[in-house]
Each structure stands twice: as C-alpha cells, then as structure tokens.
Amino acid sequence: MKKNLLRLFLPFFLVIVLSSFVWHKFYVSVTQIDYVSNKKRIEISHRIFIDDLEKALEKKYKKKVYLTSTKELPEAEVLIKDYLKENVKISINKKPQEIVYLAREVEGDVLIFYSKIAISKKINTFEIFNSLLTNVYEEQQNIVHVNINRNKNSFLFTNSDTQQKIDY
C-alpha cells in the first residue's frame, strides 16, 4: 500500500519541486565599459530589465513610474538619472568621475542606458561601484565588462560585493 502511494505522489512531488526552480526569476544587469582613446572618453552602457528597474524606482521614490508606456511619468528620466548616479560610481586614478547620462533605448523587455566620462589622462587605476537593484533583490547580480588600455576584465557585483578596483 505504501509503495502504491509513493508511486502515485512521487511524480507529483517531483513536478512541484522542479518547477520551483524553473519559475524562479534570474535577477541580472549587464554593464559594458569601454575606453575609446581617439574620443578621449569612457563609454558606458547598462542593460537592465524594465520591470526590475520600475520596482527599484518605485521603492526608492514611492511612486509608480510606468517605464516605456504611455503612462510613463514626465519626471521618469530624472528619476532614472538620479538612480544611476547613486548606484554606479567610477573613480579613475583615485578621483571620482562625473558620469554624463546620454540616452536610453528599449530592446524588448530591456532598457539600455548610455553614458560617458571625459578622460584625457592615462588610466592607472579604475574603481567601480555598482549596486544596481541590490536594494530590491537580494539575489541581484550585476555583470560588468571593462575594456581599458586593451585589457579586458569582467566582474560580478552582488549585494555583498559592490566595489572592484583595477590597476594598470
């Protein structure tokens, strides 16, 4: 009798357990940072899921922003700029840099943000702080690819690891 019950409920139990892994959302953003020497600047792009960013903005600013919809708040662009400025910081040669926000575009369910840093000196040290969405999702992972002085590095930023430094 016990074997029959086990045979009956084991497949049901396995479906429930395995589906919980499939339904778990993956929280990730991707940032690309490139030094473009002929333009004397660093170019930055962030790829962030729209719904994740909306949740972060709503938590921080206590209002629904409705990104990329016809109901998007008029001040959404300012809120995004402020949020990026607070959660992504870069220092070059131990000096904090001003990151200039340029534009954004939509690609499917992802927002892509473009920004730049003017730099005319040789880069000896490069420090990155990235805490995007970590205040909303404990499992958030922010992947950052850096290409400076023909050296490529990739980093994984998490809730507990938000800063990295590269020496050249």
Q: What is the pLDDT of residues 60-114, one digit of tens each?
A: 999 999 999 999 999 999 999 999 999 999 999 999 999 999 999 999 999 999 9
Q: Indicate if the pLDDT at residue 5 is higher than 50.
A: no
Percent of the chain scored above 90 by pLDDT? Answer: 83
pTM: 0.84
25: confidence class by pLDDT, cuts 50, 70, 90: confident
Q: By mean pLDDT, which of 17-21, 63-67, 95-99, 151-155 is the weakest? A: 17-21
User: How far apart are alpha carbons 106 and 109 in whole angstroms?
Assistant: 7
pLDDT at residue 15 above 90?
A: no
% of the chain at pLDDT higher than 70: 86
**Residue among 158, 165, 145 at smallest CA distance from 28:** 158
Burial 4-38 (b: 16+ CB within 10 A, else e): eeeeeeeeeeeeeeeeeeeeeeebbbbbebebeee
DSSP-assigned states of every residue in 36-66: EGGGTEEEEEEEEEHHHHHHHHHHHHSS---
CB 47 within 8 A of CB 28: no
Q: What amino acid occupies position 167?
A: D
Residue type, 156: L
* Amino acid identity for residue 105 in this structure: E
CA distance to 46, 61, 68, 112, per residue, from 106 (Å): 12, 22, 8, 6
- Residue 18's pLDDT is 47
